[in-house]
Amino acid sequence: MNLFSHAALSHWLAAFDAASPLVISGSAAAGLLVTSLVLLGLERRAVRSPVAVAALAALAFAIAWCPVARPGWAPLAAGLVTAALARDRDDPLHAECSLKLLWVMGPALALSWAGLSLLTLATGTPIVIEQWAVLQLGLDPRFLWSTALPLALLAGLVLLGGAPFHFWVADVLQGVRPWLAAAAVVTLQSSGAAWLSSRLEGIGGFPAGRELVSDLLGIAAFAAFVAGAATLLVQRRPERRVGTLASLNGAIMLAALAAGRPPGPAALAAWSGHLALALGGAATVARFLPTFAGPAPGVPLFRRHPWTGIAGLYALASLAGVPGTPGAMLWLASAKALAAAGRTGLLLVLSAAWIAALTAAMRQWRQAFGVAAPAASVPLAGRVPLQARLALWIAACGLVALGALRLWRV
Amino acid sequence: MTDATTESHRALRVTRTGGVLCALGFVLIGWPSLFAAALGLELVAAAFWCWARAAEDRAEQLPRWAWLRRPASALWLAAGLHAVVRDTGLGVQPAFQTLPGVVARVEALAVLWGGLELMAALPLARPFSDRAGPLGATGPWLPVMLPAAGFLVLWRHAALWTDLPDVRTAALVLLLVTACLAALRAFGRRPWTASLRWLAVGDCALGGALVALRAVPADAALLLWLGACGGHALLLAGELGGAATRRGPRPHRLWRVAAWTALASLSWPVLSTLGFGPPDVANPAFALAAAAAVALAAWVSVGRLVEAPERRTMVRREAAVPLIQIGAVATLAAGPVALAIAWWSGFEPSWTDSLAALTPAIAGGWAAGIGGRRSLAERPTLAGLAPRVAARGRRARRAARAAFDSIVAFERRLVAVLGRIAFALIAPARDLHTGDAQEYLLFLAGVAVLALVLPLLR
């Protein structure tokens, strides 16, 4: 059989569909790992140690495992990220980010743990599906489970990075070195999505709980979209813009959950896989983009290697859900879920946030290329390392592959 | 290669890139898909950005045309909402209270926003036709493309917004106000090129009103608009090419008749429907506003198109069959042909209604024909009136300029006030976040308390 015939292609695609979601998230995580390892090559010798490689591998594993992860993985992932950040004692920004993450995620996980314990206490079982069945009997006071359930979701909310917790995503992407920043953010956000998905598994069997969760997550998604969109339009630093876009990607997961349809492993894998590749590329290209301070000539990356720059901006565009990119399909899927659930307000806010994301992406595009300057007037200074260019191409190719194999075919 | 040669090559490349983007953009705007239209507007905005970033005065040009992304964003919004509701099969013509009903209205408003802002019908970027575009010699012509793009958006996606009566009425009001303001501005501006740009805006606004009124079939509406706006666009192109359209008595006369005919043809169905149409469409106030706009536009179109003296001793060979005069013939024919199509499809106003509907155009054209300074000066019996008419004309132009400026200033102040209110509302939220690690914990505590309190409040 010809390997490139239509039948062979269909065969391969069917085989890919049948494969476990872990293949998708694993492939994307591998792409992010390679990107991060390539960027690690740019660091000083003291940083380029086997420990750093092991930390990156562990983070990639956490991302790959996300579709089937249990809630217990989230504290491990948060601990891993915090430790990886705190390890470089010479870097004050790493230490600051580590402290902030610890400061917010420690209490959030503790509160959620308290909520989980309360639910276990009330129902007599730690198994989620059994808990809904017990609560559906109506033997427990409403006050108890309606207090425990929101607390149990809090950690997922913080880890997803939706507003008002969108600050940590931008802080990490701005303050942490490129080789670690994207991997850390994707690990935490994927863990948050996995936390919420696994906590809400089978909640359809307990309508009162589903209603409560739908309302609460709807409010959270609403706040995340509004604050994310407003923040995005006033931000000037590219790294923080990318961070807010990642936060909005967390919000679209929240919206899907608020629609009352917890994503299955395949959807979770597609979401986290896309986030890994898009954030890997966008966070890398953001390091070469200028902080906006009025019209200025294009940055060296776009003057020396415009196609590589475009590959980086493609990742950013996908993160923003620019039509035609794989990321747009995720935004559309969330919007359709909201429409099917009749959540008009949330759908309109999601649309507004999407428009803000598109605006930010187009603005970034224009600022990257800058104004045309006569060749003689502005010297073409600044080197663009080969590793960075390689990382941008890996992310862009990975996104195209993810789109072709999964997202564009939905 | 010298620096000058490199620069000229680069300028040529920029011009071509922008031109290709614009052409592609217009092809996509004409496509029936909303996504294609959004992409088309994005390409037009990209073309302006491309030209502006390479312009000599780029510091002015870049912010001046930055608003062009707004209509594209509005179209993206409409396209996205359309995709969401269409694909979930939630139906058409839904009630307002339902999700599809709300989405259909937002979609219609987004399409309208995209079209109206390009037609200078929204108070955000209304005076864009006052200035030349960002491309050297062709610059003064470029802004004409924007209202044309706006009309094409409204015309192509008319089904999305004309089916909703409240949206259609709002659009009609904005379009008629724009037609009046455009005519006022065209009258108030002294340079003929600027007046032509404003006349094109007025044509597009009247064309948009025609689409909103659904008085004639869509293809007839397109042809009527094409005649009026295309005629003024060709006049402007000719003006930039050495005033070719008005050099010599015959071309001058031909263009005067053509421009007037196209405008009168466009105004006929608009005014007859607004004045004497079905009760749910007819509105005397709207009809009067439209009549005033048409009369003034007709006066400017005919009266300001003065013959240019032929200074060349030898006319170039290629000027023997001037393409621009073929444009005049096309402009002349477009209106009557479109009206014939409309008549064939059932547009049959009575003779009296038609006469009344044509009166503003006839009055404007006739007054310009006999009341112009040159016409007065040519008639010995009326020659004494010429200085007085000229003085009154100057005063009227000043008044028109002042009226337009005060309206635009009021609009700007209103927008600024709304912006400041929005900023004041957002400011406390921005102040909440100082980047301090402690505040993150406070956020967490706040959200936890909220998560506990909200279920109890249900």
Q: How confident is the model at residue B435, as a pLDDT?
A: 62
Reduced to 3 states (helix: H, G, I; strand: E, B; else coil), residue A371 is: strand
Q: How confident is the model at residue B432, as a pLDDT?
A: 61
Average pLDDT over residues A149-158: 91
**Are residues A323 and B62, on separate chains, in Cβ contact within 8 Å?**
no
Q: Give the residue carrying structure tokens 């610890």.
A: A102
Q: Give the Cα separation of A175 and A242 in Å (integer).
A: 13
φ, ψ at B234 (rounded to 5°): -70, -40
Q: How confident is the model at residue A87, as a pLDDT?
A: 86
Q: What is the overall mean pLDDT for chain B?
A: 86
How buried is B417 (Cβ within 10 angstroms: 0-12 exposed, 13-18 middle, 19+ buried)? exposed
Helix or strand holding residue B328 (H, E): helix B323-344
φ, ψ at B180 (rounded to 5°): -65, -45
Q: How confident is the model at residue B372, as a pLDDT?
A: 57
Reduced to 3 states (helix: H, G, I; strand: E, B; else coil), residue B5 is: helix
Q: How confident is the model at residue B277, as a pLDDT?
A: 87
Any idea which of A286-300, B118-132, B183-197 has the lowest mean pLDDT? A286-300
A146–B contact, CB cutoff 8 A: yes
Q: Please, what is the Cα angle at B90 between B86 and B96, to 5 degrees? A: 105
Q: How confident is the model at residue B74, as a pLDDT?
A: 96
Q: How close is the nearest chain A Cα to the Cα of B173, in Å?
A: 26
What percentage of chain B reaches a pLDDT higher than 90? 54
Q: Please, what is the Cα angle at B182 between B178 and B185, to 5 degrees? A: 140
State both tokens at B368: 């310009």
Instruction: Please determine, for residue A73, whether its predicted confidence score (pLDDT) is greater than 80.
Output: yes
Q: Which residues of A touch B49 (CB under 8 A)?
A: 366
A347: confidence class by pLDDT, cuts 50, 70, 90: very high
State both tokens at B150: 């706006």
Instruction: Please determine, for residue B233, whether its predicted confidence score (pLDDT) is greater than 80.
Output: yes
CA distances, B388 to each of A88, B51, B261, B395 (Å): 86, 45, 29, 11
Number of helices followed by number of strands (H, E) in chain A: 17, 0
Closest CA to B105 of B151, B39, B171, B45: B171
Q: Give the Cα separation of A166 and A158 in Å (integer).
A: 8
Q: How close is the nearest chain A Cα to the Cα of B178, in Å?
A: 27
Helix or strand holding residue A370 (H, E): none
DSSP calls for A148-190: HHHHHHHHHHHHHT-TTSTHHHHHHHHHS-HHHHHHHHHHHHH
**Are residues B426 and A362, on separate chains, in Cβ contact within 8 Å?**
no
Which has more confidence, B251 or B94?
A: B251
CA-CA-CA-CA dihedral for A285, A287, A288, A289, to nearest 10:
90
State both tokens at A156: 């997922």
B275: confidence class by pLDDT, cuts 50, 70, 90: very high
Nearest to A354 among B7, B54, B80 (CB): B80
Reduced to 3 states (helix: H, G, I; strand: E, B; else coil), residue B313 is: coil
Helix %, strand %, coil % for chain B, to 5?
80, 0, 20
pLDDT tens per residue, range B235-265: 999 888 877 778 778 888 889 999 999 999 9
- Contact between A316 and A245 under an 8 Å Cβ cutoff? The reply is yes
Instruction: Please determine, for residue A13, whether its predicted confidence score (pLDDT) is greater than 70.
Output: no
Nearest to B443 among A164, A351, A371 (CB): A164
Instruction: Please determine, for residue B91, whether its predicted confidence score (pLDDT) is greater than 50.
Output: no
Q: Give the Cα separation of A118 and B423 in Å (integer).
A: 43
* Distance, C-alpha B11 to centroid of its chain: 28
Helix ranges restricted to H, A305-343? 306-320, 326-341
* Distance, C-alpha B347 to centroid of its chain: 25
pLDDT tens per residue, range B341-377: 999 998 888 999 999 999 999 999 988 876 555 555 6
Q: What is the ipTM score, two decimals?
A: 0.89
**Are residues B69 and A362, on separate chains, in Cβ contact within 8 Å?**
yes
Closest CA to A74 of A161, A192, A199: A192
Helix ranges restricted to H, A88-235? 92-123, 128-136, 142-160, 167-175, 178-199, 207-234
Q: Give the Cα separation of A236 and A360 in Å (integer).
A: 10
Residue A90 corresponds to which amino acid?
D
Nearest to A374 among B7, B79, B445 (CB): B7
Q: Give the Cα separation of B246 and B308 in Å (integer).
A: 6
- Contact between A183 and A275 under an 8 Å Cβ cutoff? The reply is no
| Closest Cα in chain A to B60 | A295
CA distances, A59 to each of A41, A81, A274, B430 (Å): 18, 8, 16, 33
pLDDT tens per residue, range A228-265: 998 888 888 999 999 999 999 999 999 999 998 778 88
Ramachandran assignment for B372, one of left (phi > 0), alpha (psi -120 to 50 degrees), beta (any other): beta
**The whole model's pTM is what?**
0.90
Q: Give the Cα separation of B177 and B445 in Å (integer).
A: 53
Average pLDDT over residues A342-366: 93
- Contact between A101 and A185 under an 8 Å Cβ cutoff? The reply is no
**Are residues B454 and A167, on separate chains, in Cβ contact within 8 Å?**
no
Q: How confident is the model at residue A180, as a pLDDT?
A: 92
* DSSP summary character for residue B12: H
Instruction: Please determine, for residue A318, whether its predicted confidence score (pLDDT) is greater than 90.
Output: yes
- For chains A and B, CB pairs below 8 A equal 135
| Closest Cα in chain A to B84 | A336
pLDDT tens per residue, range B418-437: 989 988 887 776 666 666 66
A23: confidence class by pLDDT, cuts 50, 70, 90: confident
- Residue of B39, B438, B447 to mutate for A, most A C-beta atoms under 10 A: B447
B34 HSE (CA, 13 A, CB side): 27
- Quote the strand ranges of B37-159, DSSP E: none
Q: Please, what is the Cα angle at B118 between B114 and B123, to 5 degrees? A: 90
- Contact between A284 and A176 under an 8 Å Cβ cutoff? The reply is no
State both tokens at A368: 């990257």
Which has more confidence, A328 or B314?
A: A328
φ, ψ at B50 (rounded to 5°): -60, -45
Residue A50 corresponds to which amino acid?
P
Instruction: Please determine, for residue B183, whether its predicted confidence score (pLDDT) is greater than 90.
Output: yes
Residue A46 corresponds to which amino acid?
A
A344–B contact, CB cutoff 8 A: yes
